[in-house]
Amino acid sequence: MLAKVTSAAVVGLDALPITVEVDVAAQGLPSFTIVGLPDKSVEESKERVRAALKNSGADFPAKKITVNLAPADLPKEGPAYDLPIALGILIASEQLRAEITDSIFMGELSLDGSLRRIWGVLPCAIMTRDQNFKNIFIPTDNLDEASIINKITVYPVKNLRQLFDHFTTENLPAGMAGKIEPAKAKKQIFKVLHNDDYDFENIRGQENAKRALEVAAAGSHNLLMKGPPGAGKTLMARSYATILPKLSFEESLEVTKIYSVANLLNRQNPIIVSRPFRSPHHTTSHIGLIGGGNIPRPGEISLAHRGVLFLDEFPEFTRQVLEALRQPMEDGHVTISRAAGSVKFPCRFSLVAAANPCPCGYLGDETKNCVCTPSAITRYQKRISGPILDRIDIHITVPAVKVEKLTTASKSESSKTIQSRVQKARDIQEKRFKGLPITSNAEMSGKNMKQFCNLDELSITLLKQAITKLNLSARSFHRVVKIARTIADLEASVKIKQNHVAEALQYRPQTD
Ligand SMILES: [Zn+2]
């Protein structure tokens, strides 16, 4: 007899239905074959399914079993097909009767028949809804991830035996022993978590740097910090995520999908509810950073989507790596081409880069002497130029903090307070750019700037002086105006005033 069970495959960030056809032939020598581009982990499914069926009290038929995963041209990977294959065998060998045309099944089987957590459940749950299936059966461990999707019924399955009992008691009343209780859609489990380890109130001193980070957050400007080791650059970058505007439910879904496909969700963090912070090392491979692989997976830039990408020791990143970042930063997504087609991963992140002033880190420091040769310093500083630097609006110096500042008892402003100002400034920008393809000041084109950057007379005078005195290039002129726009937004000022321009001028790179 032939059985058909529907499962799902993840392609990029989306899922497609996969039909698992199982034929148990009445004649022929006993065998077990899987066709339809299975990879090794799908091949190994045979052993798991065989043991799981036996250990769940079912029969593994000693017959010719053929499993076809359709469509055949799509590569299949991972152990998620264990459950649909086992269910197909139960039906095709007439051990079980079940009406399953409205349902999607996925899950990895242990040898004892219990189900293990799998990756990619969120895109599959979204597919279940969008393709008008009614139910999805998944491992219990994946429940939270799936149940943020409404309009479908999510069945958390503990083990194969439970699934078997569920269908054999199908026509009996709910609440019967053996029946799987469907999970309730729970949008309410979505709440913004706050990590107290990282908060601006724990950063003493560094008022200038903190202000620059506030401006960066308010206008979505990328930022570069230069300073000696131990100045707190990493702590500030981590805390930066806590002053960005709140993650909306839709954004949280976007980010969670990426983490689901990257297999980075777990029982403690089934849903990503706060802005991600990613800090790839400068030795991270191209694929690790940008994404890729035989079956494409998101890289660090996509894992930082809607959050912070922190590039510490920025001059140590190779030119090729920085060059590869350029296009995705411009597009807000990265396209990965493979023989089987291309996939797109989003990557809208805030870039925070950090660099020492010189190889030893103490150039210009008051407490320690720099031991670098002048040529080494020049070479080092030259490396902080090039492709990405054009996309960094705000440049600041972060000095070592004086000891008395560190020991003062007074607490600094909390992330919450700063974040509420940032949010207001972003709300202004959202209104401003309504109907345009941009959402923040950092993204303004020259044309946008003409329309939206209304400078008062004094600020025009100041800018003119800066152009001649500081020899500002056209590019840095644009940068200064954009940042001034953001600083004005933080004060809810429609016009850009002189003090806004004056502050913006402080954030230009020293090389300008
Ligand atoms: Zn040095």
d(CA 480, CA 299): 32
Residue 362 CA to ligand 1 center (angstroms) comes to 5
Decide: 382 and 171 in contact? Cβ < 8 Å: no
**CB distance 142 to 108 below 8 Å:** no
CA of 374 to the centre of ligand 1 (A): 9
Q: How far apart are CA 445 and CA 442, in angstroms?
A: 9
Q: Which residue has the higher pLDDT, 401 or 145?
A: 145
The predicted pLDDT at position 405 comes to 59
Whole-number pLDDT of residue 176? 58
Give pLDDT, residue 350.
92
Report CA(390)–ligand 1 centroid distance (Å). Answer: 25
pLDDT tens readout for residues 284-303: 988 999 998 877 899 999 99
For 413-440, how does the pLDDT look when each residue is reduced to its tens digit (9 = 90+)?
999 999 999 999 999 999 999 999 888 9
Question: Regarding beta strands 115-116 and 108-109, do their DSSP bridges make them parallel or antiparallel, or are they unpaired?
Answer: antiparallel
User: In whole angstroms, what is the distance from residue 168 CA to residue 411 CA?
Assistant: 63
Q: How much distance in Å is there from the Cα of 371 to the middle of ligand 1?
A: 5
Identify the weakest region by mean pLDDT among 79-93, 187-201, 262-276, 402-416. 187-201
What are 101's two structure tokens? 């045309």
- pTM attached to this predicted model: 0.86
Q: How confident is the model at residue 493 (pLDDT cuts 50, 70, 90)?
A: very high
Residues 39-68 pLDDT 10s: 888 889 999 999 999 999 999 999 999 999
Portion of the chain with pLDDT greater than 90, in percent: 60
Q: What are phi and psi of 444, to 5 degrees?
A: -60, 140
Tell me if 486 sits within 8 A of 425, measured CB to CB.
yes
How remote is the CA of residue 237 from the centroid of ligand 1, in Å? Answer: 23
User: What's the gap in Å between 378 CA and the centre of ligand 1?
Assistant: 11
Q: What is the mean pLDDT of the chain?
A: 89
Element (H, E) at 383: helix 374-383
Give the model's confidence band at 210: pLDDT under 50 very low, under 70 low, under 90 confident, else very high.
very high
Is residue 193 scored above 70 in pLDDT? no
Using CA atoms, how far apart are residues 164 and 90, in angstroms rounded to an integer? Answer: 9
**Nearest residue to 228 (alpha-carbon basis) of 401, 351, 376, 381:** 401
The better pLDDT of the pair 181, 83 is held by 83
- Ligand 1 centroid vs 286 CA: distance in angstroms? 29
Q: What is the pLDDT of residue 403?
A: 58
What is residue 192's predicted lDDT score, i.e. its pLDDT? 47
159 C-alpha to ligand 1 centroid (Å):
61
pLDDT digits 0-9 by tens, 253-286: 999 999 999 999 888 888 888 889 999 999 998 8
Confidence check: pLDDT of 188 > 50: no
Q: Are the C-beta atoms of residues 400 and 228 closer than 8 Å to each other? A: yes
